Amino acid sequence: MIPINAPQIGEEEIVAVVKVLKSGTLTHGLGAGPVVMKFEKAFAKFVKAKHAIAVNTGTAALHLAIVGAGIKRGDEVILPSFTFVATAEVVAMAGAKPVFVDVDPETYNISPRRIEKAVTKKTKGIMPVDLYGLPADMQPIREIADKHGLTIIEDAAQAHGASYKGKPPGAFADAACWSFYASKNMTTGEGGMVTTNNDKLAEKMRFMRSHGEKEKYKSLMLGHNYHMPEIQAAIGCVQLKKLPKFLAKRRENAERLTVKLKKAKGLLLPKEHKGYKHSWHLYTIRLKGAKGKKRDKIIEALRQKGIGTEVYYVNPIHVMPYYRKFGRYRLPETEKAAKQVLSLPAHPGVTARQIDFIGETVLRLLG
């Protein structure tokens, strides 16, 4: 089976982990061990941010940013429903209400026009998602936020190496949140990071990462235990150095797959519009006009041929049982996309020969 995504781990990561184990320093009381701080500094440089705060998961990064920004009970946060549940989950964890809006049918990212219509007196934040590795349209979103005095927390969990108008994710946001889960463009196994240029927000999130402590046993505010272990950071330091090569291979695979599939009728391929740079975390195609059953039959046929194919995200958040309590939403573009999209393997472990096999198999199945 060609997996939809696979961590690219080598001897260098193993050596780095062993070095940490031999050092005897596996973590730090305030979440700021020497290897963690090294990783934070390197990642901040990579994404051109002033601050980087390492945490134990991507969800922790989102939650830390939300509560650090002061989002609380009674507030509303606007976000897409077509994303992983963690984006909405952290809003609910803060006691706020997730307000779902529809996506652009070509990019699958949140529609700025629909954000504007959803703003109320209770709105305090916007959470755009850089879905599949393609940045959201951040400039108009920034303009909306400035107009209404809102905070932008950008979910860049899939966008390592992407850019928008020549700038990395986070450049137009108050904070950007990253995931280093095993399937991501780079990994620490689990793990996450918040990046920001806001000094006060960075300081607050560092306290909150470690039980609200500025110093040991002196909590200034309510916090959490979101420490990134030194082992994770050691893997991250190595993976970050490898990331440019990973991204180049993802792009090569995506472009080769596009060449193979562009002759297919009724197939919408992922696009990289001017001013956008895709990280190609996922190569997502769309069966135009198809219903869910036809799409699902093709997925099953691909899997039988040994091609790991997945649907991200088959159940939009607003239709999930728990999240229905936040209101009934009619999001036609989101619901249509959820029935028509599927993602194909394009990660760095996929060879050119396998890419050709994937493309040719899809063409045959489409007839």
Task: Report the catalytic residues.
Answer: 184
Considering only CA atoms, which of 185, 118, 172 is closest in space to residue 143? Answer: 172
Measure the N-to-C terminal CA separation of the chain; round to a whole number of Å: 23
Distance CA 82, CA 80 (A): 5
C-alpha 159/C-alpha 141 separation (Å) is 17
Query: DSSP state, 308?
Result: -
One-letter amino acid identity for 33? G
Give yes or no for a contact between 172 and 156, defined as CB atoms under 8 angstroms apart.
no
Nearest to 101 by CA among 341, 311, 317, 289: 317
The DSSP result for 32-60, as a single string, is --HHHHHHHHHHHHHTT-SEEEEES-HHH
- Residue 318 Ramachandran class (φ > 0 left, ψ -120 to 50 alpha, else beta): alpha
Structure tokens at 336: 């249509």
> What are the contacts of 25-31 at 24+ separation with CB within 8 A?
25/230, 26/229, 26/230, 26/231, 27/227, 27/229, 27/230, 28/227, 28/230, 29/210, 29/216, 30/206, 30/209, 30/210, 30/213, 30/215, 30/216, 31/55, 31/206, 31/209, 31/210, 31/226, 31/227, 31/228
Strands 192-196 and 76-80: unpaired
* Alpha helix stretches (DSSP H) within the chain: 11-23, 34-46, 58-68, 86-93, 112-118, 138-148, 199-209, 230-261, 292-304, 332-340, 352-366
